[in-house]
Amino acid sequence: MTKLAFILFAFCSLLGPTVRTTVADAGSETRFLQNGVTAHRGNSGEYPENTMPAFRSGVAVGADWIELDIFITKDGQLVVTHDQTTGRVGDKNLDVAGSTYEELKTVDVATDFRKRHQLTKKECPPARMPLLEEVLKMIKQQHKTRVSIQPKADCVKKAVALVKQLKMEPWVGFNDGNLKYMTQVKQLAPAIPVFWDRGADTDIDVDIKIAQQRGFAALVLHHQGITAEKVRKIKAAGLEPGAWTVNDPAVMKQLLKQGVERIYTDEPALLLQLKQRQSE
Protein backbone atom coordinates (compact mmCIF):
# COMPACT_ATOMS: atom_id res chain seq x y z
CA MET A 1 0.00 0.00 0.00
CA THR A 2 1.39 3.43 -0.95
CA LYS A 3 1.75 6.15 1.66
CA LEU A 4 -1.09 8.15 0.04
CA ALA A 5 -3.40 5.14 -0.03
CA PHE A 6 -2.62 4.37 3.62
CA ILE A 7 -3.44 7.96 4.65
CA LEU A 8 -6.74 7.84 2.72
CA PHE A 9 -7.67 4.50 4.30
CA ALA A 10 -6.88 5.76 7.81
CA PHE A 11 -8.85 8.97 7.20
CA CYS A 12 -11.91 7.06 6.00
CA SER A 13 -11.67 4.63 8.93
CA LEU A 14 -11.64 7.46 11.43
CA LEU A 15 -14.66 9.18 9.90
CA GLY A 16 -16.75 6.01 9.71
CA PRO A 17 -18.95 4.24 7.17
CA THR A 18 -20.45 7.34 5.54
CA VAL A 19 -17.16 8.44 4.01
CA ARG A 20 -16.20 4.89 3.04
CA THR A 21 -19.48 4.59 1.15
CA THR A 22 -18.80 7.85 -0.71
CA VAL A 23 -15.34 6.71 -1.76
CA ALA A 24 -16.69 3.35 -2.93
CA ASP A 25 -19.44 5.05 -4.94
CA ALA A 26 -17.01 7.17 -6.94
CA GLY A 27 -16.70 4.47 -9.61
CA SER A 28 -20.10 2.90 -9.06
CA GLU A 29 -21.31 3.53 -12.62
CA THR A 30 -18.99 0.79 -13.83
CA ARG A 31 -21.17 -1.79 -12.07
CA PHE A 32 -24.32 -1.09 -14.07
CA LEU A 33 -25.76 -4.01 -16.00
CA GLN A 34 -25.27 -4.09 -19.77
CA ASN A 35 -27.85 -6.58 -21.07
CA GLY A 36 -29.84 -4.53 -23.60
CA VAL A 37 -33.19 -4.97 -21.84
CA THR A 38 -35.28 -1.85 -21.19
CA ALA A 39 -38.33 -2.39 -18.98
CA HIS A 40 -40.94 -0.24 -20.76
CA ARG A 41 -42.81 1.86 -18.19
CA GLY A 42 -41.27 -0.51 -15.66
CA ASN A 43 -42.16 -4.19 -15.60
CA SER A 44 -45.55 -3.18 -16.98
CA GLY A 45 -46.55 -6.68 -18.04
CA GLU A 46 -46.64 -7.72 -14.40
CA TYR A 47 -47.57 -4.48 -12.63
CA PRO A 48 -49.51 -1.30 -13.48
CA GLU A 49 -47.42 0.83 -15.85
CA ASN A 50 -45.42 3.80 -14.58
CA THR A 51 -45.97 2.91 -10.92
CA MET A 52 -43.46 2.29 -8.14
CA PRO A 53 -44.23 -1.48 -8.03
CA ALA A 54 -43.52 -1.72 -11.79
CA PHE A 55 -40.23 0.14 -11.41
CA ARG A 56 -39.09 -1.89 -8.40
CA SER A 57 -39.93 -5.07 -10.29
CA GLY A 58 -37.98 -3.88 -13.35
CA VAL A 59 -34.94 -3.53 -11.12
CA ALA A 60 -35.60 -6.85 -9.38
CA VAL A 61 -35.83 -8.89 -12.61
CA GLY A 62 -32.50 -7.46 -13.78
CA ALA A 63 -33.29 -5.08 -16.66
CA ASP A 64 -30.35 -2.76 -17.24
CA TRP A 65 -32.71 0.16 -17.90
CA ILE A 66 -36.25 1.03 -16.92
CA GLU A 67 -38.12 3.56 -19.04
CA LEU A 68 -40.71 6.06 -17.83
CA ASP A 69 -42.74 9.03 -19.09
CA ILE A 70 -43.05 12.44 -17.48
CA PHE A 71 -45.41 15.42 -17.55
CA ILE A 72 -45.47 18.62 -15.53
CA THR A 73 -48.49 19.44 -13.36
CA LYS A 74 -50.36 22.71 -12.85
CA ASP A 75 -48.31 23.33 -9.71
CA GLY A 76 -44.98 22.54 -11.37
CA GLN A 77 -44.43 18.96 -10.22
CA LEU A 78 -42.77 16.39 -12.50
CA VAL A 79 -45.05 13.35 -12.48
CA VAL A 80 -44.61 9.94 -14.05
CA THR A 81 -47.39 9.10 -16.47
CA HIS A 82 -47.72 8.46 -20.21
CA ASP A 83 -50.93 10.23 -21.26
CA GLN A 84 -52.16 13.81 -21.14
CA THR A 85 -55.13 12.59 -19.13
CA THR A 86 -55.60 9.86 -16.53
CA GLY A 87 -58.68 8.21 -18.02
CA ARG A 88 -56.94 5.28 -19.74
CA VAL A 89 -55.21 3.95 -16.63
CA GLY A 90 -57.19 5.49 -13.76
CA ASP A 91 -60.58 5.49 -12.09
CA LYS A 92 -61.19 9.15 -12.96
CA ASN A 93 -60.24 11.32 -15.91
CA LEU A 94 -58.11 14.35 -15.03
CA ASP A 95 -56.01 16.53 -17.30
CA VAL A 96 -52.45 16.13 -16.00
CA ALA A 97 -51.15 19.58 -16.97
CA GLY A 98 -54.34 21.21 -15.69
CA SER A 99 -54.33 19.48 -12.30
CA THR A 100 -52.30 19.87 -9.13
CA TYR A 101 -50.34 16.92 -7.82
CA GLU A 102 -52.65 16.71 -4.83
CA GLU A 103 -55.56 16.25 -7.24
CA LEU A 104 -53.68 13.67 -9.32
CA LYS A 105 -52.83 11.64 -6.21
CA THR A 106 -56.54 10.87 -5.81
CA VAL A 107 -56.52 8.81 -9.04
CA ASP A 108 -56.03 5.05 -8.72
CA VAL A 109 -53.71 4.51 -11.70
CA ALA A 110 -53.84 0.72 -11.22
CA THR A 111 -57.51 0.60 -12.23
CA ASP A 112 -57.08 -0.38 -15.88
CA PHE A 113 -54.43 -3.02 -15.12
CA ARG A 114 -56.66 -4.55 -12.43
CA LYS A 115 -59.64 -4.74 -14.77
CA ARG A 116 -57.68 -6.15 -17.74
CA HIS A 117 -56.15 -8.88 -15.61
CA GLN A 118 -59.36 -9.52 -13.62
CA LEU A 119 -57.65 -8.96 -10.30
CA THR A 120 -59.04 -7.96 -6.94
CA LYS A 121 -57.83 -4.92 -5.03
CA LYS A 122 -56.06 -7.29 -2.69
CA GLU A 123 -54.21 -8.86 -5.63
CA CYS A 124 -53.55 -5.48 -7.25
CA PRO A 125 -53.70 -2.69 -4.66
CA PRO A 126 -54.55 0.88 -5.64
CA ALA A 127 -51.58 2.90 -6.86
CA ARG A 128 -50.98 6.61 -7.19
CA MET A 129 -49.03 8.48 -9.82
CA PRO A 130 -45.44 8.86 -8.58
CA LEU A 131 -43.24 11.91 -8.75
CA LEU A 132 -40.11 11.63 -10.89
CA GLU A 133 -38.10 12.50 -7.80
CA GLU A 134 -39.45 9.43 -5.98
CA VAL A 135 -38.40 7.11 -8.78
CA LEU A 136 -34.95 8.66 -9.08
CA LYS A 137 -34.30 8.35 -5.35
CA MET A 138 -35.33 4.67 -5.47
CA ILE A 139 -33.06 4.02 -8.46
CA LYS A 140 -30.13 5.72 -6.74
CA GLN A 141 -30.22 3.12 -3.96
CA GLN A 142 -28.68 0.53 -6.31
CA HIS A 143 -26.01 0.38 -9.02
CA LYS A 144 -27.34 -2.18 -11.51
CA THR A 145 -30.31 -0.60 -13.28
CA ARG A 146 -30.55 2.88 -14.78
CA VAL A 147 -33.60 4.93 -15.76
CA SER A 148 -34.45 6.45 -19.14
CA ILE A 149 -36.74 9.48 -18.91
CA GLN A 150 -39.18 10.23 -21.73
CA PRO A 151 -40.50 13.82 -21.56
CA LYS A 152 -44.05 13.99 -22.91
CA ALA A 153 -44.18 17.78 -22.43
CA ASP A 154 -41.82 20.74 -22.48
CA CYS A 155 -40.13 19.97 -19.17
CA VAL A 156 -36.61 18.86 -20.12
CA LYS A 157 -34.91 21.78 -18.36
CA LYS A 158 -36.71 21.04 -15.10
CA ALA A 159 -36.02 17.30 -15.36
CA VAL A 160 -32.29 17.76 -16.05
CA ALA A 161 -32.08 20.23 -13.14
CA LEU A 162 -33.61 17.61 -10.84
CA VAL A 163 -31.17 14.95 -12.06
CA LYS A 164 -28.26 17.29 -11.37
CA GLN A 165 -29.65 18.30 -7.98
CA LEU A 166 -29.79 14.64 -6.96
CA LYS A 167 -26.33 14.03 -8.47
CA MET A 168 -27.82 11.25 -10.55
CA GLU A 169 -26.22 11.80 -13.96
CA PRO A 170 -24.61 8.30 -14.00
CA TRP A 171 -28.01 6.65 -13.41
CA VAL A 172 -29.98 8.52 -16.06
CA GLY A 173 -30.63 8.65 -19.81
CA PHE A 174 -33.37 10.29 -21.90
CA ASN A 175 -35.41 8.91 -24.78
CA ASP A 176 -38.08 10.27 -27.10
CA GLY A 177 -38.77 10.96 -30.76
CA ASN A 178 -38.95 14.73 -30.21
CA LEU A 179 -35.71 16.07 -31.67
CA LYS A 180 -36.05 19.42 -29.90
CA TYR A 181 -36.34 17.78 -26.48
CA MET A 182 -33.50 15.32 -27.08
CA THR A 183 -31.19 18.06 -28.39
CA GLN A 184 -31.98 20.13 -25.31
CA VAL A 185 -30.88 17.25 -23.08
CA LYS A 186 -27.44 17.15 -24.74
CA GLN A 187 -27.11 20.94 -24.51
CA LEU A 188 -27.92 20.96 -20.80
CA ALA A 189 -26.07 17.75 -19.83
CA PRO A 190 -23.68 16.50 -22.53
CA ALA A 191 -22.67 13.43 -20.50
CA ILE A 192 -26.22 12.05 -20.25
CA PRO A 193 -26.97 9.50 -23.01
CA VAL A 194 -29.87 10.09 -25.38
CA PHE A 195 -31.76 7.26 -27.08
CA TRP A 196 -33.62 8.76 -30.05
CA ASP A 197 -36.91 6.96 -30.75
CA ARG A 198 -37.82 6.65 -34.44
CA GLY A 199 -40.78 5.31 -36.39
CA ALA A 200 -40.92 2.26 -38.62
CA ASP A 201 -40.72 4.28 -41.86
CA THR A 202 -38.06 6.77 -40.79
CA ASP A 203 -35.18 7.68 -43.14
CA ILE A 204 -32.38 5.85 -41.37
CA ASP A 205 -29.58 7.60 -43.27
CA VAL A 206 -30.84 11.05 -42.29
CA ASP A 207 -31.42 9.90 -38.71
CA ILE A 208 -27.88 8.57 -38.42
CA LYS A 209 -26.40 11.90 -39.52
CA ILE A 210 -28.55 13.83 -37.06
CA ALA A 211 -27.78 11.43 -34.21
CA GLN A 212 -24.04 11.72 -34.84
CA GLN A 213 -24.18 15.52 -35.07
CA ARG A 214 -26.14 15.84 -31.82
CA GLY A 215 -24.12 13.27 -29.86
CA PHE A 216 -26.93 10.77 -29.34
CA ALA A 217 -26.08 7.26 -28.11
CA ALA A 218 -28.70 5.17 -29.92
CA LEU A 219 -31.41 4.97 -32.54
CA VAL A 220 -34.42 3.05 -31.28
CA LEU A 221 -36.76 2.12 -34.14
CA HIS A 222 -40.29 0.80 -34.07
CA HIS A 223 -39.77 -2.94 -34.40
CA GLN A 224 -41.87 -3.26 -37.56
CA GLY A 225 -39.39 -1.12 -39.49
CA ILE A 226 -36.19 -2.91 -38.49
CA THR A 227 -34.08 -4.77 -41.04
CA ALA A 228 -30.62 -6.32 -40.78
CA GLU A 229 -29.32 -3.64 -43.17
CA LYS A 230 -30.61 -0.81 -40.96
CA VAL A 231 -29.02 -2.43 -37.92
CA ARG A 232 -25.73 -2.74 -39.80
CA LYS A 233 -25.79 0.95 -40.76
CA ILE A 234 -26.56 2.06 -37.21
CA LYS A 235 -23.72 -0.01 -35.76
CA ALA A 236 -21.28 1.16 -38.45
CA ALA A 237 -22.08 4.73 -37.39
CA GLY A 238 -21.04 3.96 -33.82
CA LEU A 239 -24.59 4.03 -32.48
CA GLU A 240 -26.58 1.42 -30.58
CA PRO A 241 -29.50 -0.08 -32.54
CA GLY A 242 -32.68 -0.54 -30.53
CA ALA A 243 -36.33 -1.53 -31.00
CA TRP A 244 -39.59 -0.49 -29.37
CA THR A 245 -41.88 -1.96 -27.94
CA VAL A 246 -41.76 -5.77 -28.26
CA ASN A 247 -43.62 -8.37 -26.19
CA ASP A 248 -43.89 -11.27 -28.67
CA PRO A 249 -41.08 -13.81 -28.06
CA ALA A 250 -40.92 -14.71 -31.76
CA VAL A 251 -40.34 -11.06 -32.68
CA MET A 252 -37.77 -10.75 -29.88
CA LYS A 253 -35.83 -13.70 -31.31
CA GLN A 254 -35.96 -12.26 -34.82
CA LEU A 255 -34.66 -8.87 -33.65
CA LEU A 256 -31.83 -10.47 -31.69
CA LYS A 257 -30.85 -12.45 -34.80
CA GLN A 258 -30.78 -9.20 -36.78
CA GLY A 259 -28.31 -7.77 -34.29
CA VAL A 260 -30.56 -5.40 -32.35
CA GLU A 261 -28.73 -4.52 -29.14
CA ARG A 262 -31.55 -2.96 -27.12
CA ILE A 263 -35.22 -3.91 -26.91
CA TYR A 264 -37.92 -2.01 -25.04
CA THR A 265 -40.46 -4.46 -23.63
CA ASP A 266 -43.29 -4.79 -21.13
CA GLU A 267 -41.94 -8.30 -20.43
CA PRO A 268 -38.31 -7.81 -19.34
CA ALA A 269 -38.03 -11.19 -17.59
CA LEU A 270 -39.08 -12.99 -20.79
CA LEU A 271 -36.55 -11.08 -22.89
CA LEU A 272 -33.79 -11.78 -20.37
CA GLN A 273 -34.60 -15.50 -20.54
CA LEU A 274 -34.41 -15.48 -24.35
CA LYS A 275 -31.10 -13.61 -24.30
CA GLN A 276 -29.72 -16.08 -21.77
CA ARG A 277 -30.69 -19.05 -23.95
CA GLN A 278 -29.17 -17.34 -26.98
CA SER A 279 -25.83 -17.00 -25.19
CA GLU A 280 -25.71 -20.62 -24.02
For 46-80, how does the pLDDT look when each residue is reduced to its tens digit (9 = 90+)? 999 999 999 999 999 999 999 999 999 999 999 99
Lowest-confidence segment of 4-18, 124-138, 182-196, 263-277 by average pLDDT: 4-18
Q: What is the mean pLDDT of residues 117-136?
A: 98
Over residues 200-244, the pLDDT tens digits come to 999 999 999 999 999 999 999 999 999 999 999 999 999 999 999
What is the rounded distance in angstroms from the CA atom of residue 278 to the CA atom of residue 256?
Answer: 9
What is the rounded distance in angstroms from the CA atom of residue 189 to the CA atom of residue 161?
Answer: 9
Q: What is the mean pLDDT of residues 108-117?
A: 98
Residue 7: its pLDDT value, please? 37
From 56, 60, 47, 40, select the one nearest 135 (Cα to Cα).
Answer: 56
DSSP-based helix, strand, coil % in the chain, nearest 5? 45, 15, 40
| Phi, psi of 104, rounded to the nearest 5 degrees | -65, -30
| Phi, psi of 192, rounded to the nearest 5 degrees | -80, 130
pLDDT at 10 over 50: no
Residue 30: its pLDDT value, please? 58
Q: Is 40 exposed, middle or buried (0-12, 13-18, 19+ CB in 10 A)?
A: buried
Q: What is the mean pLDDT of residues 142-146?
A: 97
pLDDT at 173 over 60: yes
Category of 275 on φ-ψ map: left (φ > 0), alpha (ψ -120 to 50) or beta: alpha
* 69: β partners: 150
Cα angle 173-179-181, degrees, rounded to a multiple of 5: 55
